[in-house]
C-alpha cells in the first residue's frame, strides 16, 4: 500500500494527513477549499481536483468531513469517491456519522467491488497532531488489518467492532458521554462560584478524587479563564449529541442526561458560540 488518498483537510484532517506523509507514504489530497491543501503540498502531496480523482489515483482513500451530509456528498456525489473506486481498492471514512449513513456508503462501495471501513476517531486537534487518536473501526476486516500501520501513525489505539455501523455507534456513545461530562463540569463550576467558593479549588478537589480525568484537567482551567480556543467545535459536539439521541430513540434507549446536556449545547449554538470550543457551553450558565 504505497499511495494514500486523503480528503478533508480541516482541524483534524491536516495533521492526520501530515502524520501519514511523515510515516513514509505518498499521498494525493483534496479539500473543497483548495487553499487548505497548501501545507500538504509543501510536504510532497499531490493535489487532486475532486474526490473521484483521489480515489482513482490511490490504492486506499481516507476521508474525514464534518457531518453525515458532507460524508454522503464526498462519497456518493457526482464527482465523489465512489466514481473513482474499482474492485479491490479500499475506502476508509474517518468521519463521525450515524450508523445509517455509514451503512449507505458501505453498500455503494461494496457494490462496485471495493472495500469499506468506517473508522471514526476519538480525540481532538492536539491528539491529531500528536498521533494519539483512538480509532473505532468496523467493516471489512481485511482492510482493517491492512490499515493498522496507518492507524499506528494516527493514534495510540485501534479497535475493531465488526459490522459497519458499530464503529459509528461507539463513537457517538463516546462523544455523548464527553458532552454530558462537559455540561456537568460547567454546572459544578457555576454552583461553586454561586456559593462563594473558588471554582479553581473545585477543580483541585475533583482531580484528587474518583472523578479525576483528562477532560476536566484540560478544559476546566481554560473555562475559568474564559478561553475557548477551538480544539473541537461546539457545533460538532451538538451534532454528535443529536445523532446519539436519535440513535437512542431508534434503539428504544432512554437518555435523559444527554437530552438535558443537549439543551445547553443548543442554547450555546443559538447564542453564537458554535465555532468556539465545545467547552464554550460553560457560557450558557452565565
Residue range 6-32: mean pLDDT, rounded: 97
82/159 same-domain check: yes
Count of structural domains, the chain: 2
64/142 same-domain check: yes
Split at pLDDT 50, 70, 90, the class of 1 is low
The model's pTM: 0.95
Choosing from 163, 187, 216, the residue where a domain stops is: 163
141/203 same-domain check: no
- Its domain, for residue 131, covers 3-163
189/152 same-domain check: no
What is the predicted pLDDT for the residue at 115? 98
Of 2, 83, 126, 171, which residue is the catalytic one? 171
15/129 same-domain check: yes
- Measure the CA–CA gap between 153 and 215, rounded to whole angstroms: 23
Give the tens place of pLDDT for each residue, 161-219.
999 999 999 999 999 999 999 999 999 999 999 999 999 999 999 999 999 999 999 99
159/181 same-domain check: no
Active site residue 171: yes
Choosing from 163, 196, 213, the residue where a domain stops is: 163
Average pLDDT, the chain: 97
Q: What is the CATH number of the domain that holds 67?
A: 3.40.50.720
Q: What is the CATH number of the domain that holds 223?
A: 1.10.1040.10
Residue range 148-162: mean pLDDT, rounded: 98
Return the percentage of the chain with pLDDT > 70, whole number: 100
Choosing from 128, 163, 198, the residue where a domain stops is: 163
153/174 same-domain check: no
Res. 118: pLDDT tops 90? yes
Amino acid at each position: 500500500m504505497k499511495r494514500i488518498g486523503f480528503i478533508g483537510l480541516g482541524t483534524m484532517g491536516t495533521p492526520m494527513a501530515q502524520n501519514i506523509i511523515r510515516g513514509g507514504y505518498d499521498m494525493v489530497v483534496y479539500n473543497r477549499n483548495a487553499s487548505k491543501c497548501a501545507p500538504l503540498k509543501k510536504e510532497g502531496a499531490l493535489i487532486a481536483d475532486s474526490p473521484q480523482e483521489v480515489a482513482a489515483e490511490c490504492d486506499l482513500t481516507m476521508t474525514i468531513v464534518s457531518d453525515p451530509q458532507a460524508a454522503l456528498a464526498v462519497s456518493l456525489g457526482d464527482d465523489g469517491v465512489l466514481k473513482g473506486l474499482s474492485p479491490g481498492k479500499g475506502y476508509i471514512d474517518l468521519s463521525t456519522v450515524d450508523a445509517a449513513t455509514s451503512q449507505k456508503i458501505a453498500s455503494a462501495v461494496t457494490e462496485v467491488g471495493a472495500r469499506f471501513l468506517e473508522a471514526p476517531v476519538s480525540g481532538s486537534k492536539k491528539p491529531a497532531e500528536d498521533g494519539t487518536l483512538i480509532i473505532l473501526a468496523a467493516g471489512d476486516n481485511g482492510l482493517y488489518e491492512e490499515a493498522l500501520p496507518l492507524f499506528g501513525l494516527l493514534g495510540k489505539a485501534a479497535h475493531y467492532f465488526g459490522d459497519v455501523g458499530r464503529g459509528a455507534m461507539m463513537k457517538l456513545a463516546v462523544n455523548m458521554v464527553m458532552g454530558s461530562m462537559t455540561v456537568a463540569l460547567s454546572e459544578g463550576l457555576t454552583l461553586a462560584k454561586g456559593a462563594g467558593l473558588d471554582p479553581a479549588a473545585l477543580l483541585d478537589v475533583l482531580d484528587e478524587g474518583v472523578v479525576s480525568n483528562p477532560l476536566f484537567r484540560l478544559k476546566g482551567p481554560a473555562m475559568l479563564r474564559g478561553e475557548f480556543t477551538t480544539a473541537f467545535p461546539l457545533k460538532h459536539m451538538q451534532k454528535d449529541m443529536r445523532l446519539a439521541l436519535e440513535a437512542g430513540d431508534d434503539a428504544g434507549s432512554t437518555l435523559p442526561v444527554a437530552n438535558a446536556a443537549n439543551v445547553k449545547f443548543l442554547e450555546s449554538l443559538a447564542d453564537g458560540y458554535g465555532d468556539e470550543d465545545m467547552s464554550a457551553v460553560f457560557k450558557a450558565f452565565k
